[in-house]
Structure 1
Amino acid sequence: MNIRGIAGVAAIAVTGLLAHGLYQLVPQGQPLTRSEVIGELVGPPLAGYSRTRLYRYGEHQYLTGQLISGERDLAGLGRAPVLDALVPEVARGHASPRAAAIPAASALAAGPADLAQDLLRAGAASREVRNLIYGGRDNGRYALLGSIGGDAGVSLIGTPGQTLYLVTGTLRRAGEDGPPAAWDVLRSDDHGASWRYDPEVTLGPPQRHTMFLSDARAVALEDGADGERLLVSEDGARHWAGLWLREQVWPDAGSDDKALHGPADGAGGQPAYGWSLYPVAADRAVGWSWRERVASGGGARRSETRRFEVRFQNGASPALRITHDVAPVPAQDPLSRPVLGQTEYATHGNRIFRLEPEQGNWHELAATPEVRGRPSWIGQAWFGRNGWVVQTYADHLFAFGDYTRTYFYTRDQGRSWRPFQLSPDQERGLLGLDAAGEGVLVHADRDGRTLIVRYALE
């Protein structure tokens, strides 16, 4: 073949390669266009940048988000409890001079409405970030249950009963005879209709995966310098007892960790442990721990996974049952707070798993499809009664530090998948799936109102 022929073949190859690369960049599926307004926030709108989160506890749903408060928001915020006024330190530090002159302990009795208005006006003048808590039932109208200032955001933790805890982003001072320093917590015993400050409850960081198995029994994990601890409370998160899990689950860790430092495939590694915890009954929880070798150049290789079952006994320490060398399990979402009675799903790579509570084991259900001929992995996933949605990523030919992002929907637990597209506005307001798993929920700002829009998945 002469030079001209070789050049022609090369040009055809380059053209085909470019065409394939451009083909990989074209989003799969069709945009979601059929929509209906199924809810509205009865109160100030959430900011477009707002970090929103949807919580479901039984029939009740809650939405948390933020706004930068201004004069125009005072009337709307004033129609719901100003929760700052319930926190002594926040009330003292953020009230106007007139309100600050009121001792925190008697502020509410002396004039809670005045204190709340002073806090709102001071916040509006300084353009502070306020966290809004909305509540409703299975979509529909969401009433403003309260607001509180703070850039760090807030989180909600529910119990099997009606109690709801709001963990703020402000640190409570440790008293001489009271509980240790912890995050300020507000409590509602009527699904958020009213709130009170609870100085005895200890929730929030450094606890992880905090969950209530009953109104009184709570469990959590906690990282420590000496390893992981299982935290147990039998009095509604007022007092916690710690159990060193490393000693129970990995009693042979010392000798085995030395072995992990040795050569493996030509390189040593640093041992590291992962942990997960899930509720399965009012007196039972199950978790997993895995040991990995973390190479100095990055990357980790799992060496063993162990399962531990926790059985709680009234008046006695929890009993642990350890099972060695079990099949690898998916890692737990660092921000997850499992809810007793709700189906638990997890993902690993492109695979989806469901926790079977009776057996206390993970069952692999499905895997996501390739994207334009390239393997995909799951970034986020949402699960409803009748359908699932996953957000996947995949490499592409022109991967300049970015990946092809694709959304898929399934109505048959992963036996078949349908791709679809979300616009940038839909992605910014994405809340997840409706409870039925048949529509994507998005919060949208329209004419100064925050609406909950449902886009049907067909």
Structure 2
Amino acid sequence: MTIRLLAGGLAIAVAAVLARGIYQIIPMGEPLSRSEIVGELNGPALASYSRVAIQRFGERQLLTGQLLVTGKDVDGLAQAPVLDTQVPALKERLQRQRMQLAQAGAITALAHGYDDLALAMLQTGRSTTDARNLIYGGRGTGVFELLGSISGDTGVTLIGAPDGQPLYLVTSTLRTPAEGDQPAAWDSLRSDDLGVTWTYDPDVTLGVPQQHTAFLTRDLAIALERHDDGVRLLHSCDGARRWAATRLKEQVWPDSAAFERKFAERAERDRSTYGEEQLGYGWSLYPLDDRRAVGWSWRTRVRPQGQEDPEVIETRRFEVQFQEGASPAFRITPDVPRVPAQDPQALLTRDQRVFETEGGAIFELDKVDMAWLERSTSPDVRGARSRIGQAWFGRNAWVIRTYAHHLFGGSESTKTYFYTRDQGRTWVPFQLSHEQERGLLGLDQTGDGLLSLVERGGKTIIQRYPLD
């Protein structure tokens, strides 16, 4: 009798665990099925694998994506200028870059004994592809006209002044320096009419190895740069042609030498307990107005991989005032509350609201007090805590893509979308199809609906899905 009771109890427990696991992996929310066509690309359809980005400068909307050209695309591409002719020897330099990358990969593969992989890499590097980056522009009428196209394997980036004039198209080929002391940069084209016409600018220095580049005015630009002597703050007063550099560590962490010496001594004493410890620094930078920027730096303790996440020892804020003809003025505030890391892919303009996420928390930058305010947290997904993978913030709604570990998930995470219309006080789950998700652009200009690209009959259309 006892064995039967035990077996019955075990069966009930197993059934409960199975039911719980199945319940957790059932998708939450209803599909976004109601939609309307709000736009169309008047030109070749973008590739399904393409990383598409949409940016807005006033009423002007610019959309970039990629296309692997076939014969059926030739006529469509002829509608707009082929910008390859603007960049000197673009085709030859692209091929040289492909070969250099392939050779570097092959050397690594050979070092690990993967001879066949090394050979395949070299063969791929010798082949030629016609991957083109397309630039579309629209003015709120729904029709996006093809403005131009340019070859490149890794996409293009649009960086502009607060009003988009001038606007720079940063390509994927390294510029040939006109002078020996010029820093590395990508070839860039300039537009003074919001993308209608483009002109190669051999003097502008944008891209590698800059991070968080932003224009405070038409002429004043800022960026961070990882350099051999540490992270530097760059600023330019002539429209990103010549940059002045300031070593940030000396400004923000003037006590770094003494601290690092003590840290090394303590790490040596604790090696047997914690293993090899290292000291790290993180950095962020945000535009405030036409003369000021603010950033944060955090000092972390990093322990061997797999033990635990880096521990933040201290966070400091640095405010920067720029003035032409003089070095930037710094104001440092030590021991401020911990801050979220900056999204490395974000392209910020001076006047926009700034949000960051960390784990499951959403923060907004208060530009007056220069502090991060926690606005909301991501909801649980069927009883499991979630973290935010990507977020879109509009005037009337926010959308987040979350991930949560579940009982039967193993190392995989369950993906769930939510939207909120009350700045995170309440969240509504919803589902996206694979097609909707693949073409997802983010929120529309009002923030009331999601935009997604879909190919229909050889055309790329833009569908809007209301959030209601």
Same fold (TM over 0.5): yes
Q: Which amino acid aligns with 2:149?
A: S
Give a deviation string over 1:346-398, Cα, whole Å, max 9, x none: 11111111111122221111111111111111000000000000001111001
1:293 and 2:295 correspond: no
Structure 1 segment 39-438 matched on structure 2, within 5 A: 39-90=39-90, 127-138=129-140, 140-161=142-163, 162-176=165-179, 179-261=182-264, 262-263=266-267, 266-267=273-274, 269-298=277-306, 299-438=309-448
* TM-align CA RMSD: 1.8
Distance in 2, Cα, partners of 1:176 & 1:409: 51
Q: Is the 8 A contact 1:132 1:146 kept in 2?
A: yes
Residue 179 of structure 1 deviates from its aligned partner by 4.0
Q: Is the 8 A contact 2:398 2:423 kept in 1?
A: yes
Residue 428 of structure 1 deviates from its aligned partner by 0.6
Q: Is the 8 A contact 1:430 1:441 kept in 2?
A: yes
Q: Is the 8 A contact 1:85 1:91 kept in 2?
A: no
Q: Is the 8 A contact 2:300 2:310 kept in 1?
A: yes
Residue 300 of structure 1 deviates from its aligned partner by 0.6
Question: What is the match of residue 120 of structure 1?
Answer: none
Q: Is the 8 A contact 2:340 2:357 kept in 1?
A: yes
- Tell me the secondary structure at the aligned position of residue 441 of structure 2: strand
Question: What is the match of residue 121 of structure 2?
Answer: none
Residue 126 of structure 1 deviates from its aligned partner by 5.7
Q: Is the 8 A contact 1:389 1:408 kept in 2?
A: yes
Range with greater deviation from structure 2 (224-233 or 261-270): 261-270
Residue 139 of structure 1 deviates from its aligned partner by 6.5
Q: Is the 8 A contact 1:179 1:200 kept in 2?
A: no
Q: Is the 8 A contact 1:208 1:335 kept in 2?
A: no
Residue 59 of structure 1 deviates from its aligned partner by 2.4
Residue 92 of structure 1 deviates from its aligned partner by 6.5
Residue 321 of structure 1 deviates from its aligned partner by 0.4
Q: Is the 8 A contact 2:353 2:365 kept in 1?
A: yes
Identity of aligned residues (%): 56
- Tell me the secondary structure at the aligned position of residue 254 of structure 2: coil
Distance in 2, Cα, partners of 1:93 & 1:215: 30
Q: Is the 8 A contact 1:439 1:454 kept in 2?
A: yes
Range with greater deviation from structure 2 (414-423 or 263-272): 263-272
- Tell me the secondary structure at the aligned position of residue 399 of structure 2: strand
Q: Which amino acid aligns with 1:73?
A: D
Structure 1 segment 3-42 matched on structure 2, within 5 A: 3-42=3-42
Paired residues in the alignment total 429
- Tell me the secondary structure at the aligned position of residue 235 of structure 1: coil
Q: Is the 8 A contact 1:178 1:200 kept in 2?
A: no
TM norm structure 1: 0.90
Residue 297 of structure 1 deviates from its aligned partner by 2.9
Q: Which amino acid aligns with 1:372?
A: R
TM norm structure 2: 0.88
- Tell me the secondary structure at the aligned position of residue 85 of structure 1: helix
Give a deviation string over 1:254-294, Cα, whole Å, max 9, x none: 22223334257942520111000000100000000001101
Range with greater deviation from structure 2 (435-444 or 302-311): 435-444
Residue 175 of structure 1 deviates from its aligned partner by 2.6
Give a deviation string over 1:125-169, Cα, whole Å, max 9, x none: 965110001111347111111100111111000112421100000
Question: What is the match of residue 108 of structure 1?
Answer: none
In the superposition, relative to structure 1, how do residues 177 and 372 fare at CA in structure 2: closer, same or farther (>3 Å)?
closer
Q: Is the 8 A contact 2:31 2:430 kept in 1?
A: yes
- Tell me the secondary structure at the aligned position of residue 190 of structure 1: coil
Distance in 2, Cα, partners of 1:93 & 1:252: 45
Match of 1:453 among 433, 442, 463: 463
Distance in 1, Cα, partners of 2:184 & 2:375: 43
Distance in 1, Cα, partners of 2:143 & 2:226: 40
Which consecutive unaligned segments of at least 5 residues does structure 1 have? 96-124
Q: Which amino acid aligns with 1:163?
A: P
- Tell me the secondary structure at the aligned position of residue 415 of structure 1: coil
